[in-house]
Chain A
Amino acid sequence: MSASAAVVGAGVAGRLLALKLRRCGYEVTLFDKEPASSLAACSFAAAGFLAPLSEGGASSEPLMVRLGQRSLPLWQDLLPTLPLPVQLGLKGSLMVAHQPDVSALQERFARLKRRFPMSPSEWVDPTRISQLEPALAESGFQAGIYLPEEGYIQSHAAMHALQQAHSNEGVTAFYDTEVRHVAAHRVVTTQETLSFDHVFDCRGFAARSDLKSLRGVRGELIEVHAPEVKLHLPLQLIHQRYPIYIVPRGDDIYAVGATCLESESLGPVTIKAGLELLNAVYQVHPGFRFAGIHRLVANCRPAFNDNLPQVHHQPGLWRLNGLYRHGFLLAPVVIDLLLRQLAGDELSGDERGIFVPGAN
């Protein structure tokens, strides 16, 4: 009889882990407090920007960058095995700046070269910008940085495709099921206590009563429908006040994000945040001026004190959390490491760093 596994929390980490476990031969049960069609998970507030260098390179831990750089190939291997199409942008990402912010861009470039000399990055002028991204030919950006090894994933499509794979491949999913307690070998719902060989806690911010050092970092994102804009690359605007990124979602939808506030409020997008994001995107391309506002999203990203992911573990219980702003970037690699640890493989020192013994 195959071993049983419970995964609690159906964000990107939970969904991916449930599928991977199933494919390793486990009997997998997935729990989530929201209905299957809900967009409440933090993962639905993500843009799907796979940008270890441009998102993280400014200030992040080198470990985050090293882990993140392994993400794209992992998604690339996984997506063709899913039952629904999910677009993966593999042609790089572009950071751009208008004249007043070129010095900030230069600083970013110098820092990238200094900290990550082995990772390709290219300083680009307006001609090269319009070659890489013809939609920006008239944009007036003075300079940019092209990062050929970055990309994006259509994050909503990925969430749905993972869900579909679960039902095709026999993951038992209990959506709309409130879990009261997640412990070693046990999942306690409002109805009953269930036993498993392994329990995986992927609840994100909702696990904070069990992970004392977890905090929420509020993020706000806007989806716009802009058929006049044809961006192929995820774009980061370097701006003194309003740095934003724009990531294509397919069907002329673009995710524009994201604010980052040390607040655990789950309240709706504030007018200030909305104005900042929209004001910035308005200036990137004239086609955004008459774009429709498709969705405004606010959520709390789960983060530990160092903003790096952690897997707390003890026999029968694994708590994977703290993916911070990097759920889609880091979930594949963290799950890969977790499964290797579970299988008893030898991990490198770097890789072992995310594991914290003694989950409570």
Chain B
Amino acid sequence: MWSIGDIKINSRLLLGTSRFPSPLSLQQSIARSGTEIITVSLRRESAMGPRDGQRFWEQIKDLPVRVLPNTAGCYSAQEAVTTAHMARDLFATNWIKLEVIGDDYTLQPDPFGLVEAAKQLVKDGFEVFPYTTDDLIVAQRLLDAGCRVLMPWAAPIGSGMGLTNPRALELLRSRFPQVPLIVDAGIGRPSHAMAAMELGYDAVLLNTAVSSADDPPAMAAAFAAAVAFGRQGFEAGLMEPRSFAVASTPMIGRAFTPATNAEGQ
């Protein structure tokens, strides 16, 4: 169990809803991922959607999960703020995944626009989930702005590269032990998600790794298992790697072994 504000959450997997082969595949993937939070990109073109009672949006709203609307595709603080307000009206939630993109090709977040938009949205009463890089100072500024959760990337969106800079993610975890931290973007394989959980992250958010799989619902199940086991491992207390061998077998009862210097020295 973990929480964001007063909201208690069991599943540590958040799922994005873009680019699934069909709504059916998306619904099955959500079910098999066990997720309780899905992100939904609020594109301006489809913003008329929920208002018009259109079917895809009705289906999304009817799912038994919390919707975390997302300001994907916004390139300035102002645009993100406008989109966030629109999302609040449409989805009746004060949660917002804040994305302010600085570069079209890599979709790298713009930290300056991000902090600016976060300040405004916190003032406006939003629970802001900022999608950020793994930079410690940007993270600090976002917390200063009033964010209560951080979502650093593992690697660029959709790249599937995994944890490209685990040291930076570790540093964030150790500096902000009380802040819910969610690795967002760059997760390509279940082992990546597990690695993030083993670092002590509270959750992971992913999309493409599931939606682009040959069998998305099966991949969603694989991620659910990886996230759960990674967390279980973290909570159980992981051993630290050492640069030398340590015998795991006791020496007692080995009287008949010829004496050597090899073991346990």
Interface residues of A (CB under 8 A from B): 58-61, 100, 111, 114-115, 208, 214-218, 240-241, 261-265, 270, 272-273, 303, 305-308
Is B52's CB within 8 Å of the partner chain A? Answer: yes
Distance (whole angstroms) from the CB of B29 to the closest CB of chain A: 12
Distance (whole angstroms) from the CB of A324 to the closest CB of chain B: 9
Known: A59-B211, A262-B46. 6 other contacts (CB 8 A): A60-B21, A61-B22, A100-B105, A214-B55, A270-B45, A307-B23
In the complex, residue of chain A having the shortest beta-carbon distance to the beta carbon of B23:
A305
5 closest residue pairs by CB, A with B:
A215-B55, A307-B22, A59-B21, A262-B56, A306-B24
Is B104's CB within 8 Å of the partner chain A? Answer: yes
B residues 182-214 touching A (CB-CB < 8 Å)? 211-212, 214
In the complex, residue of chain A having the shortest beta-carbon distance to the beta carbon of B55:
A215
| SS of A interface (majority) | loop
A241-B105 contact in complex given A114-B214, A215-B55, A215-B56, C-beta closer than 8 Å: yes
Q: CB distance B214 to A261 under 8 Å?
A: no
Is B48's CB within 8 Å of the partner chain A? Answer: yes
* Across-interface contacts of A273 in B (CB, < 8 A): 45
A262-B49 contact in complex given A59-B19, A114-B214, A216-B55, C-beta closer than 8 Å: yes
In the complex, residue of chain B having the shortest beta-carbon distance to the beta carbon of A60:
B21
* Across-interface contacts of A305 in B (CB, < 8 A): 22-24, 27, 59
Distance (whole angstroms) from the CB of A59 to the closest CB of chain B: 4
The CA-CA distance from A317 to B27 in the complex, in Å, is 30
**Of B19, B45, B49, B212, which is within 8 A of A272 by CB?**
B45
Interface residues of B (CB under 8 A from A): 19-25, 27, 43-46, 48-49, 52, 54-57, 59, 104-105, 211-212, 214
* Across-interface contacts of A61 in B (CB, < 8 A): 21-22
* Across-interface contacts of A217 in B (CB, < 8 A): 56
Q: CB distance A263 to B54 under 8 Å?
A: yes
* Across-interface contacts of A218 in B (CB, < 8 A): 45
Q: CB distance A262 to B57 under 8 Å?
A: yes
The CA-CA distance from A105 to B12 in the complex, in Å, is 32
**Of B21, B44, B104, which is within 8 A of A241 by CB?**
B104
In the complex, residue of chain B having the shortest beta-carbon distance to the beta carbon of A111:
B214
Q: CB distance A263 to B48 under 8 Å?
A: yes
Q: CB distance A263 to B49 under 8 Å?
A: yes
Q: CB distance A265 to B21 under 8 Å?
A: no
**Of B21, B48, B54, B59, which is within 8 A of A307 by CB?**
B21
The CA-CA distance from A240 to B157 in the complex, in Å, is 11
* Across-interface contacts of B23 in A (CB, < 8 A): 215, 305-307
Q: CB distance B105 to A240 under 8 Å?
A: yes
Distance (whole angstroms) from the CB of B213 to the closest CB of chain A: 9
The CA-CA distance from A200 to B45 in the complex, in Å, is 34
The CA-CA distance from A262 to B45 in the complex, in Å, is 9
In the complex, residue of chain B having the shortest beta-carbon distance to the beta carbon of A308:
B22
* Across-interface contacts of B22 in A (CB, < 8 A): 61, 303, 305-308
Q: CB distance B55 to A261 under 8 Å?
A: no
The CA-CA distance from A58 to B55 in the complex, in Å, is 24
29 contacts between A and B (CB under 8 A): A58-B212, A59-B212, A100-B105, A111-B214, A114-B214, A115-B214, A215-B55, A215-B56, A216-B54, A216-B55, A218-B45, A241-B104, A261-B45, A262-B46, A262-B49, A262-B54, A262-B57, A263-B45, A263-B48, A263-B56, A264-B55, A265-B46, A272-B45, A305-B27, A305-B59, A306-B23, A306-B25, A307-B21, A307-B23
The CA-CA distance from A308 to B24 in the complex, in Å, is 10
In the complex, residue of chain B having the shortest beta-carbon distance to the beta carbon of A267:
B48
Q: CB distance B104 to A264 under 8 Å?
A: no
**Of A115, A240, A265, A270, which is within 8 A of B52 by CB?**
A265
* Across-interface contacts of B20 in A (CB, < 8 A): 59
Q: CB distance B24 to A261 under 8 Å?
A: no
Distance (whole angstroms) from the CB of A228 to the closest CB of chain B: 28
Q: CB distance A263 to B46 under 8 Å?
A: yes
